Amino acid sequence: MAQTNGQSCLYRAIWRWHFYAGLFIIPMILILSVTGAMYLFKPQVERWEEHAFHGLPTTGTVTPLIQRDAALAAFPGSRFLYYRLPERPGDAALVHLELPGDGKLMRDVFVSPQGKVLGGFDPDRRAMEVVHDIHGQLMLGHRGSWLVELAASWAIVLIATGLFLWWPKGTGLSGVLWPRFGLGRRILLRDLHAVTGFWVAGFAMILLLTGLPWAEVWGSGFKAIRTEMGWIKGEQDWTIGGRSVGSEHAAHMNGAATMQNVDPRGPIHTGTPHAMNQPAWTSIGLDRLVAKAEAEHLAFPVIVTPPGGSGSSWTIRSDSQNRPLRVAIKYDPRDGRELSRESFGDKHVIDRIVGYGIAWHEGQLFGLANQLIGTITALALVTLSITGFLSWRRRKPEGRLGAPPPLLARLDGAGIRVIATLFLLALPMFAMSVAFLWVLDKVVLPRLPVLGRWLGVRDAAQC
């Protein structure tokens, strides 16, 4: 009987945590699920967005340099930041410019194979960029990133506690692996919530965990640990809190605006070798780099970025969302000599694991099947949110939140303490929020009895 009572107390305590976690992050889960499902189809959406610039005539094709100059002429005073190769013959090239002024406004300019400017986009207002900003930062900058990380951390706890509550109690498979119909709406809602949670738990946990390296607090701590342990090889190619960290692509995008001694148009000077083993120093141009990029047959999109200043290098890179396909090659700006080449396999094993996770998270690791799995996972999370909310509304008492009452007895057990400690150590935003809730419960709510009764913290139950 004592063991049964202890199990009942544990169940009620975890139910209470599950209730609070679910109720307060339901809006965030809905936002993240919907925007995440949309972002899975970024390649298709952007291809549709650019459909007017595809399938153009290929007669009278001009050089990439002429295309770049046409884009610059269309936006006087702008600066050339990079050139994106067409995905297929007959597609327009994308020339990325920084517009004049102090606002650092950018423009994606599409130029036909014949060198005619066809149109352009503000890259910050493209559909998938807006979805990305909502999903990662709620359009609120770094503060939004903290809220997203907080919701993701609590969602991990929500899944773990939900699995504990779902765990079969010897009542058969109905209501465990499939919902029970014909027993009333309350039972059906409960079963839809529990059964959906079971089937989606693994995929949802993968999505949440693979999103943590992007998060402001978790990602910064992870980077600090990797640096301290020497687990970094090459450059990190994912953002933290919306900011690029060590990304060569980002560095060249910024640096290209301050070109000093190297002009991507072509030669700046030539010299005569002083000895047989000393080459003539020349400056190579955009046309030659684009030809090199075409010969590499890299995964789309392929970006050619000019040097960012004296002594810097040209860079050719694949920015494919499928991280294992990414390659970055640097070239000497004077003679075109290859300086370095970094592929996915050259990165540290930790970065490769993160790269596989990010590619899965974005639905690009293995094509359409990956996108469909991500979409089903997102829809299941929406179902969990809706059924959880409806179940709460059905049993919510008048004038109360309806939370399970706290327990008078303290729950003991090394296993519970170990699991709780692991969550607190592994999820810093969760730990900070728990500390805040503890202060709220012990210091603030005792002085606000009306609010305490509404939240249910004043209705302690004997266990």
Q: Return the higher-pLDDT residue of 391 and 407.
A: 391
pLDDT value at 274 more than 90: no
Q: Which residues contact 301 (CB under 8 A, 6 or more apart)?
A: 84, 85, 87, 318, 319, 320
Asked whether the beta carbons of 194 and 165 are under 8 A apart, the reply is yes
In a 10 Å sphere around its CB, with 0-12 CB exposed, 13-18 middle and 19+ buried, how is residue 297 labelled?
exposed
Q: Which residues contact 330 (CB under 8 A, 6 or more apart)?
A: 248, 313, 314, 315, 338, 339, 340, 341
Determine which helix (DSSP H) or strand (DSSP E) holds 352, and give its type and residue range: helix 349-361
Split at pLDDT 50, 70, 90, the class of 16 is confident
Q: Which of 132-136, 176-180, 233-237, 243-247 is predicted least confidently? A: 243-247
Radius of gyration of the chain (CA): 28
Split at pLDDT 50, 70, 90, the class of 257 is very low
Q: Which of 50-54, 60-64, 98-102, 202-206 is predicted least confidently? A: 98-102
Q: Which residues contact 378 (CB under 8 A, 6 or more apart)?
A: 33, 34, 36, 37, 40
Q: Residue 244's pLDDT is what?
A: 73
Q: Return the higher-pLDDT residue of 96 and 194.
A: 96
Instruction: Find the largest Cα–Cα distance for the chain.
Output: 95
Q: How far is CA 202 from the centre of its chain?
A: 19
Q: Residue 425's pLDDT is what?
A: 92
Angle between helices 428-439 and 216-229 (to 10 degrees): 130
pLDDT value at 253 more than 60: no
Determine which helix (DSSP H) or strand (DSSP E) holds 159, and give its type and residue range: helix 142-166
- How far from 438 is each of 213, 310, 413, 443, 446, CA to CA, in Å? 27, 56, 20, 8, 12
Count of CB atoms within 10 A of residue 20's CB?
Answer: 19
Per the listing, tokens 């607190």 go with 424
| pLDDT over 70 percentage in the chain | 85
Asked whether the beta carbons of 256 and 246 are under 8 A apart, the reply is no
Q: Residue 312's pLDDT is what?
A: 85
Q: Residue 278's pLDDT is what?
A: 30
Strand partners, 316: 304, 329
pLDDT value at 5 more than 60: no
Split at pLDDT 50, 70, 90, the class of 2 is very low
pLDDT value at 413 more than 70: no
Asked whether the beta carbons of 328 and 341 are under 8 A apart, the reply is yes
Average pLDDT over residues 355-384: 96
What secondary structure letter does DSSP report for 55? S
pLDDT value at 258 more than 50: no
Coil, helix or strand at residue 79: strand
Rounded CA separation 215/226 (Å): 15
Sheet holding 106-111: strands in order across?
117-121, 106-111, 93-98, 79-84, 302-305, 314-318, 327-331, 338-343
Condensed to tens digits (0 to 9), the pLDDT of residues 281-332 reads: 335 799 999 999 999 999 999 999 999 754 589 999 999 999 999 999 999 9
Asked whether the beta carbons of 353 and 362 are under 8 A apart, the reply is no
Strand partners, 342: 328
Condensed to tens digits (0 to 9), the pLDDT of residues 77-123 reads: 999 999 999 999 999 999 999 999 877 899 999 999 999 999 999 99
- How far from 125 is each of 77, 122, 238, CA to CA, in Å? 22, 5, 21
Q: Residue 463's pLDDT is what?
A: 60
